[in-house]
């Protein structure tokens, strides 16, 4: 009995992290048919934001340092949502109806984001800032001219070259004047540690079980996120619009729903949720440029198993995959079937975290033989037209 | 034709008690329907009557919730789309669905290919050129046979798809609103094409365009709310009070 | 619903004559001639011109271009974006790697086994003593794995993005599996320190050149195979599946068989590429199955131009040369560059370099024609 509860608890806590990561992905996929390969990197940005907020609060001393987690949640949501919004406006909206290309483009973005956190320093930040200001500022100013369409191509090329050059020269100068102070990377390639606030350390003993506080915190955070998302989708005007566009984009556009805004908003919210998931991830281990990559494939599997269009699908799928991973990975399953030697041997063979994934994937492929469209598929004439 | 076909009364298609329900909504509700071999039948009905769903069931795209569909004595409800197609049912879709990046010639060859399994397709020797040329002639696309089909006009795409369906040489042709978006002249030519096809095919046409229906119709079936409302000649159906009520009546109001 | 993917049909299939009006037969002869020319150039001229180091790189990249050909077949023509070709590449590499590791006197087993206290050769290593078995296994094992996976996924009409992320998951799964099995295949370290093949030293200059030539011949063979599959009715069905798979069913074809077959062929090609690459780098490790590497392969094809086989080869060679240049001098910039490349190709050059040349070439041709006509008019006047 204890064994069962223990595995259930551990499975659920793995599943909730997956779920939080998958929620954003699933609503975006449902709405736009787009899988965002940079979703993991948005989580990573959330985790790094937590790291930064923690350091700021640590400087402020005692009463504050224990509560950095709440502002960190807000900041992580904000940062990830902002980056997501930029991503949607600058890249994804141009790739409408080309989901495979979107996959590749967002993978490109994920590579850039990974390298960005590795090498970002004051010089790079300044160069980016100067570039952005000059390029987009120039664009904005010149776009008001009457003959803009005619000169657009040339002006943009010129602006691109000029602002890159100015940014680079400015960066060089800065690097020469202040040397190490500005050229040192902010985070570097090393992993960084986020320490949980004191009230989150330790845990609650329940019978023979010990429930770590961080895990409990993550579970409640997930509950809050799901509840928030549910209320947003079901009981607000914008939620209604999102559901409408998810079901029938053309019709929604015809009745006057601004589908472009809906896309941008949904993408931003989905990305923000990734940021919040990043906070949760930062509590579980150290934070590195590859943090996102560790979660991304599992979250994709949640979307595949859960199907699109229903939150419940993602919830069941995430918890299911989480529990299956734990049961197989910890070797608990082998303990449940002690009598059959071949079965036990096989199960022991898969009883590591990474081998468990092999088994779970095999199970997912088997599952897809029966439910190829996931747990809760949509029905009707519009499907697969 | 009536004299030439003494055995024409053999039924090629029988549908009994067909029900299709999507999450409780019944797109087809206990439909009974049958087609004689060599018949040209027009199915009409207001929007949502279940016309396209009927074709979806006939081509294997939708599995019925209840009921049975017999085509040449075989039950279609267990078969997959391509099996039904090989069995002899060809469908022309409501909006033209042709292969946009292939040219009309290639589109037709693809449908004409007699052996549709993987390896016969890969290694098989076949000479389809004459048949393709003849078909291009029929659908008036001889001069545009080598441009990507995506660049054809809407009417030409409709014709190409009709050509593709003919190329499959089906026993039963299903034509779903094949004159939508055509000019009057094109519509008339299509009507003539269908008339000539009707000489040696069984054809089921779904249509909204009443002028066109009058041109081609011999027997008309009216669907309403997923079930059969009435059947008869165009004139009979036109004057049936139930039809006026559900169909033409709603047009007068609108 | 489906956007017209490019203004022209895939290469070889009746593109509107661009001035040169060739019969299909003559076109084929021309293509064969060009192919032969390139082969001769690669085999006889390049070794004389390039330094040994660069030539070795070229050989490796040509091996990689075989994977790219396979990806072009399944993605460019059939619309199946596999993010897991690295798995098949590595399977081919491991097959040859095992054979090379077994070039030992009788009774001895590869050295790494002693690290884990393994004294007896695991059963599945035994057949790899035989070269003929290995040679078949190099393409057959990947092809069989791909057929099984492909069949299970494709038959349920799982396609598009779902197919992509399932293949990506496959990569992780195989990576985990190979990474975790030290006692069976040396885990993370992979197989390395190969010395001989057919009792010849594989690091001698002559052997290296022979491997280089063999690589080129395999590229040519792979090209011819893909060309055969993509031209003719079979190729058109692939394009039809890419553009509108459900419609293909109503035309009487079952797409499953076609998709599984090309997926298996692409996997077999990846296996051959992996073996040739392993032979030239002297190592095969689970890193070849890492997720980024498999996605990188797709970008080679995208850069060169999908739905053009030549594009795949050109893209693989070009991108990899760029990578080796950039990551030699600025390792940091490479990832930014690669990320930018993904964005650029997808957003600005969706048909890759070859596609760009084609459209630009056509425009230039039209301009040239107009200019000539005007010239003719003025001279008449």
Q: What pLDDT score does A308 carry?
A: 73
Average confidence (pLDDT) over A119-137: 80
pLDDT tens column, B28-75: 888 888 888 888 889 988 887 888 888 889 988 888 888 889 988 888
Give the Cα separation of C357 and C360 in Å (integer): 5
**Quick one: which H or E segment has residue B228?**
strand B227-232
Structure tokens at B48: 């949502």
Residues 6+ apart with CB under 8 A from C19: C365, C369
Choose the most confident range, by mean pLDDT, from A4-13, B78-87, C84-93. C84-93
Separation in Å, CA of A377 to nearest CA in chain B = 11
Length of chain B: 254
CA distance C148 to C146: 5
Q: In what order do the strands lie in the sheet with B40-44?
A: B89-92, B172-176, B202-206, B40-44, B219-224, B227-232
Contact A368 C152 (CB under 8 A): yes
Structure tokens given for A337 = 């079937």
Q: State whether residue B183 sits within 8 Å of chain C by CB.
A: no
Percentage of residues in chain C having pLDDT higher than 70: 93
- Looking at the structure, do residues C96 and C131 belong to the same domain, yes or no? yes
C-alpha to C-alpha distance for B172 and B95, rounded to whole angstroms: 20
Of A177-191, B61-75, B163-177, C318-332, the range with the lowest mean pLDDT is A177-191
- Per-residue pLDDT of B130-148, as tens digits, reads 888 888 988 888 888 888 8
Predicted confidence at residue B38, as pLDDT, reads 85
Angle between helices C291-304 and C161-180 (to 10 degrees): 140
Minimum CA–CA partner of B89 in chain C: C250
Smallest Cβ distance to A379: which of B22, B52, B53? B22
Domain-embedded: residue B3: no
pLDDT at C86: 94
Asked whether residue C300 falls in the same domain as residue C362, the answer is no
Render pLDDT for C107-123 as a digit per residue (tens, 0 to 9): 788 888 888 888 888 88
All residues of chain B having their beta carbon less than 8 Å from the beta carbon of residue C16 are 146-147
**β-strand pairing of B202-206 with B40-44:** parallel
Asked if C96 and C275 touch (Cβ cutoff 8 Å), the reply is yes
Averaged pLDDT for residues B140-164 = 88
pLDDT at residue C214, rounded to an integer: 92
Q: What is the pLDDT of residue A378?
A: 66
Asked whether the CA dihedral B80, C164, A105, C344 is positive or negative, the reply is negative
Q: Tens of pLDDT along C71-84?
A: 999 999 999 999 99
Is residue C12 included in any domain, yes or no?
no
Residue B176: give its domain's CATH number.
3.40.50.300
User: Which pLDDT score is estimated for C269?
Assistant: 95
Task: Name residue B36's beta-bridge partners.
Answer: B11
Same domain, C80 and C93: yes
Assign C256 a pLDDT band (cuts: 50, 70, 90).
very high
> By the 8 A CB rule, do A214 and A199 touch?
no
Residues in chain C: 381
Mutate to test the interface with A, among B22, B56, B176 (most CBs of A within 10 A): B22
> Which range marks the domain in which residue C159 is found?
35-350
Same domain, C366 and C247: no
Instruction: Report which of residues C297 and C110 the model is more confident about.
Output: C297
The answer as to whether B1 is a domain residue is: no
Same-domain check for residues C120 and C264:
yes
Residue A72 has pLDDT above 50, yes or no: yes
- Give the 3-state DSSP-derived string for chain A, with helices as H, strands as E and coil as C: CHHHHHHHHHHHHHHHHHHHHHHHHHHHHHHHCCCCCCHHHHHHHHHHHHHHHHHHHHHHCHHHHCCCHHHHHHHHHHHHHHHHHHHHHHCHHHHCCCHHHHHHHHHHHHHHHHHHHHHCCHHHHHHHHHHHHHHHHHHHHHCCCCCHHHHHHHHHHHHHHHHHHHHHHHHHHHHHHHCHHHHCCCCCCCCECCCCCHHHCCEEEECCEEEEHHHHHHHHHHHHHHHHHHHHHHHCHHHHHHHHHHHCHHHHHHCCCCHHHHHHHHHHHHHHHHHHHHHHHHHHCCECCCHHHHHHHHHHHHHHHHCCCCHHHHHHHHHHHHHHHHHHHCCHHHHHCCCCHHHHHHHHHCCCHHHHHHHHHHHHHHHHHHCCCCCCCCCCCCCCC
Residue C19 has a pLDDT of 44
Contact list in B for residue C254 (CB cut-off 8 A) is 80, 82, 116-117
Residues of B in contact with C250 (CB under 8 A): 59, 81-82, 85, 90-91
Domain count, chain B: 1
d(C-alpha A49, C-alpha B12), whole Å:
69
> Is residue C134 located within the same domain as residue C64?
yes
Q: What percent of chain C has pLDDT over 90?
A: 37
Return residues 271-310 of C near A (CB < 8 Å). Answer: 291-292, 295, 298-299, 302
Per-residue pLDDT for B123 more than 70? yes
Q: Higher confidence at residue A220 or residue A125?
A: A220
**Pairing label, strands B74-75, A209-212:** unpaired
Lowest model confidence (mean pLDDT) among A371-375, B226-230, C14-18, C66-70:
C14-18
**Model confidence at A132: pLDDT above 70:** yes
Which residues are within 8 A (CB) of B127 and not within 5 positions of it... i.e. 6 or more apart?
A: none
Would the pLDDT of A49 be above 80? yes
Token pair for residue C149?
């996976």
Average pLDDT, chain C: 85
Which range marks the domain in which residue B15 is found?
A: 11-253
Higher pLDDT, C53 or C62: C62
Q: Do B82 and C249 touch (CB under 8 A)?
A: yes
- Determine the pLDDT at residue A379: 58
The residue that leads in pLDDT, A136 or A87, is A87
pLDDT > 50? residue A15: yes
Q: Do C177 and A355 touch (CB under 8 A)?
A: yes
Residue C14, pLDDT above cutoff 60? no
Count the domains in chain C: 2
Q: So what's the pLDDT on residue C216?
A: 92
Number of CB atoms found within 10 A of residue C286's CB: 23
Domain assignment of residue B178, yes or no: yes
Cα dihedral A296, A299, A303, A309 sign: negative
Distance CA C231, CA C238 (A): 10
Average pLDDT over residues C250-270: 93
Lowest-pLDDT choice from A187-196, A272-281, C207-216, C270-279 = A187-196
In DSSP terms, A287 is beta-bridged to A192
Q: Which of B198-207, C21-30, C80-89, C147-156 has the lowest mean pLDDT?
A: C21-30
Render pLDDT for A34-45 as a digit per residue (tens, 0 to 9). 889 999 999 999
Task: List B residues 135-154 in contact with C (Cβ-Cβ < 8 A).
Answer: 146-148, 150-151
Contact C4 B100 (CB under 8 A): yes
Same domain, C160 and C195: yes
Q: Which residue on chain B is closest to A379 by alpha carbon? A: B22
Chain C touching partners, 3 or more CB pairs below 8 A: A, B
Q: What is the mean pLDDT of chain B?
A: 84
Does the residue C7 lie in any domain?
no
In this prediction, residue C139 carries a pLDDT of 94
Of B99, B103, B109, the CB nearest to C233: B109
**Residues 6 or more apart whose Cβ sits within 8 Å of residue A118:** A185, A187, A188, A189, A289, C332
Least confident of A307-311, B159-163, C26-30, C301-305: A307-311
Task: State percent of chain A over pLDDT 90.
Answer: 18
- Split at pLDDT 50, 70, 90, the class of A1 is low
Domain shared by C345 and C358, yes or no: no
Question: Are C272 and C377 in the same domain?
Answer: no
Q: State the pLDDT at residue C92.
A: 94
C273-285 mean pLDDT: 92
Q: Are residues C305 and C182 in the same domain?
A: yes
Chain B: list its partners (3+ Cβ pairs within 8 Å).
A, C
Say yes or no to pLDDT of C16 above 50.
no
Q: What is the pLDDT of residue B249?
A: 55
Same-domain pairing of C357 and C260:
no
Chain C residues 85-144 with a CB less than 8 Å from chain A: none
Alpha helices in chain C (DSSP H): 24-40, 46-49, 52-71, 85-101, 112-115, 131-154, 161-180, 182-185, 205-230, 232-250, 255-281, 291-304, 309-329, 331-347, 352-380
Task: Tokens 């390139």: give the residue.
Answer: C38
Instruction: Please tell me the predicted confidence (pLDDT) of residue A385.
Output: 41
- Enumerate residues 63 to 82 of chain C having a beta carbon within 8 A of any beta carbon in chain A: 75, 79, 81
Residues 6+ apart with CB under 8 A from A363: A324
- DSSP lists the bridge partners of residue B15 as B33, B69
**Res. A338: pLDDT tops 70:** no
Give the model's pLDDT for residue C183.
Answer: 82
Q: Please indicate, yes or no, if residue B129 is contained in any of the structural domains.
A: yes
pLDDT of residue C69: 94
Residues in chain A: 385
B113 lies in some domain: yes
**What tokens were used for A267?**
């993408």
Q: Suggest the residue from C169, C299, C349, C355 to mutate for an interface test with chain A (most A CBs closer than 10 A).
A: C169
Residue A181 has pLDDT above 80, yes or no: no
Q: How far is A252 from chain B (nearest CA, A)?
A: 20
CB C176 within 8 A of CB A358: yes
Whether C188 and chain A come into contact, CB under 8 Å, resolves to no
**Closest-CA residue of chain B to C251:** B111
In a domain, C98, yes or no: yes
Report, as an integer, the average pLDDT of C349-378. 81
> Does one domain contain both C191 and C209?
yes
Exposed (0-12), middle (13-18) or buried (19+): which is C168, by Cβ within 10 Å? buried
Query: What is the ipTM, given to two decimal places?
Result: 0.85
Structure confidence by residue, pLDDT tens digits, C127-171: 888 889 999 999 999 999 999 999 998 888 888 888 998 999 899
For chains A and B, CB pairs below 8 A equal: 10
Nearest-Cα distance to chain A for C82, in Å, is 10
- Mean pLDDT for C15-20 is 44
């Amino acid at each position: 009995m204890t064994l069962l509860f223990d595995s259930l608890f551990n499975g659920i806590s793995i599943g909730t992290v997956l779920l939080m990561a998958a929620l954003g992905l699933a609503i975006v996929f449902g709405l736009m048919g787009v899988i965002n390969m940079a979703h993991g990197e948005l989580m990573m940005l959330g985790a790094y934001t937590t790291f930064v907020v923690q350091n700021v609060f640590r400087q402020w001393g005692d009463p504050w340092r224990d509560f950095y987690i709440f502002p960190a949640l807000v900041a992580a949501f904000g940062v990830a949502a902002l980056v997501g919004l930029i991503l949607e406006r600058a890249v994804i909206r141009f790739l409408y109806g080309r989901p495979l290309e979107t996959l590749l483009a967002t993978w490109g973005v994920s590579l850039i984001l990974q390298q960005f956190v590795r090498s970002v320093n004051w010089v790079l930040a300044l160069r980016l800032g100067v570039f952005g200001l000059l390029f987009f500022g120039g664009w904005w100013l010149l776009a008001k001219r009457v003959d803009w369409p005619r000169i657009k191509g040339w002006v943009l090329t010129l602006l691109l070259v000029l602002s890159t050059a100015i940014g680079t020269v400015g960066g060089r100068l800065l690097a020469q004047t202040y040397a190490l102070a500005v050229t040192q990377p902010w985070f570097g390639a090393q992993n960084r540690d986020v320490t949980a606030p004191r009230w989150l350390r330790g845990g609650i003993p329940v019978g023979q079980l010990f429930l770590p506080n961080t895990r409990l915190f993550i579970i409640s955070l997930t509950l809050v996120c799901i509840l928030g998302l549910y209320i947003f989708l079901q009981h607000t005007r914008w939620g209604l619009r999102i559901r409408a566009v998810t079901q029938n984009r053309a019709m929604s556009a015809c009745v006057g729903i601004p589908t472009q805004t809906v896309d941008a908003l949904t993408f931003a919210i989905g990305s923000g949720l990734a940021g919040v998931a990043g906070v949760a991830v930062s509590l579980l281990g150290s934070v590195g440029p590859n943090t996102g990559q560790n979660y991304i494939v599992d979250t994709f599997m949640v979307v595949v198993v859960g199907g699109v269009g229903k939150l419940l699908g993602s919830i069941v799928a995430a918890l299911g995959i989480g529990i299956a991973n734990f049961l197989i990975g910890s070797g608990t399953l082998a303990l449940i079937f002690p009598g059959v030697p071949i079965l036990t041997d096989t199960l022991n063979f898969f009883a590591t975290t990474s081998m468990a994934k092999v088994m779970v994937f095999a199970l997912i492929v088997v599952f897809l033989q029966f439910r190829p469209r996931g747990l809760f598929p949509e029905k009707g004439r519009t499907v697969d037209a | 034709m009536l004299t030439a076909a003494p055995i024409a009364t053999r039924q090629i298609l029988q549908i009994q008690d067909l029900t299709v329900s999507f999450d409780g909504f019944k797109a087809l509700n206990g439909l009974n329907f049958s087609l004689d071999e060599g018949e040209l039948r027009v199915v009409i009905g207001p929007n949502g009557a279940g016309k396209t769903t009927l074709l979806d069931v006939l081509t294997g795209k939708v599995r019925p919730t209840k009921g049975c569909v017999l085509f040449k004595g075989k039950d279609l409800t267990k078969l997959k789309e391509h099996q039904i197609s090989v069995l002899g049912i060809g469908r022309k879709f409501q909006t033209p669905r042709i292969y946009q990046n292939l040219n009309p010639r290639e589109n037709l060859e693809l449908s004409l290919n007699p052996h549709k399994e993987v390896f016969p397709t890969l290694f098989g020797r076949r000479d389809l050129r004459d048949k393709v040329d003849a078909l291009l002639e029929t659908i008036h696309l001889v001069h545009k046979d080598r441009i990507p089909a995506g660049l054809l006009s809407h009417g030409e795409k409709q014709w190409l798809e009709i050509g593709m369906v003919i190329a499959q040489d089906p026993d039963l042709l299903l034509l779903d609103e094949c004159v939508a978006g055509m000019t009057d002249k094109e519509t008339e030519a299509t009507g003539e094409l269908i008339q000539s096809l009707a000489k040696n095919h069984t054809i089921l046409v779904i249509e909204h365009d009443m002028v066109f229906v009058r041109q081609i119709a011999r027997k008309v079936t009216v669907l309403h709310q997923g079930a059969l409302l009435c059947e008869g000649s165009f004139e009979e159906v036109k004057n049936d009070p139930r039809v006026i009520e559900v169909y033409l009546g709603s047009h007068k109001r609108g | 619903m489906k956007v017209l993917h490019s203004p022209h049909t895939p290469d070889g299939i009746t593109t509107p004559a661009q001035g040169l009006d060739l019969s299909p037969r003559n076109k084929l002869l021309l293509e064969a001639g060009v192919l032969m020319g390139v082969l001769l150039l690669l085999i006889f001229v390049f070794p004389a011109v390039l330094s040994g180091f660069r030539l070795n790189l070229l050989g490796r990249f040509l091996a990689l271009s075989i994977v790219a050909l396979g990806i072009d077949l399944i993605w460019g023509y059939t619309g199946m974006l596999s993010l897991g070709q690295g798995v098949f590449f590595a399977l081919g590499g491991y097959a040859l790697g095992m054979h090379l590791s077994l070039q030992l006197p009788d009774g001895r087993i590869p050295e790494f086994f002693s690290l884990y206290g393994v004294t007896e050769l695991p059963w599945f290593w035994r057949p790899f003593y035989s070269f003929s078995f290995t040679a078949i296994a190099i393409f057959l094992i990947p092809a069989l794995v791909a057929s099984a996976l492909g069949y299970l996924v494709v038959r349920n009409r799982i396609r598009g993005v779902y197919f992509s992320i399932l293949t990506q998951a496959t990569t992780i799964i195989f990576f985990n599996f190979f990474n975790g099995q030290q006692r069976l295949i040396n885990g993370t370290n992979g197989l390395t320190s190969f010395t001989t093949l057919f009792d010849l030293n594989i690091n001698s200059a002559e052997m290296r050149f022979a491997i280089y030539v063999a690589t080129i011949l395999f590229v040519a063979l792979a090209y011819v195979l893909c060309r055969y599959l993509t031209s003719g009715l079979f190729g058109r069905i692939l394009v039809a599946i890419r553009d509108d798979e459900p419609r293909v069913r109503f035309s009487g074809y079952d797409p499953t068989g076609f998709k599984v077959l090309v997926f298996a062929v692409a996997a077999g090609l990846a296996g051959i590429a992996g073996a040739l690459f392993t032979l030239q780098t002297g190592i095969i490790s689970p890193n070849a199955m890492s997720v980024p590497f498999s996605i990188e392969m797709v970008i080679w094809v995208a850069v060169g131009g999908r739905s053009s086989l030549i594009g795949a080869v050109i893209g693989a060679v070009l991108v990899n040369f760029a990578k080796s240049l950039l990551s030699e001098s600025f390792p940091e910039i490479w990832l930014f560059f690669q990320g930018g490349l993904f964005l650029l190709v997808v957003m600005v050059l969706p048909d890759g370099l070859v596609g760009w040349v084609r459209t630009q070439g056509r425009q230039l041709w039209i301009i040239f024609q107009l200019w000539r006509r005007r010239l003719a008019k003025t001279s008449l006047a």
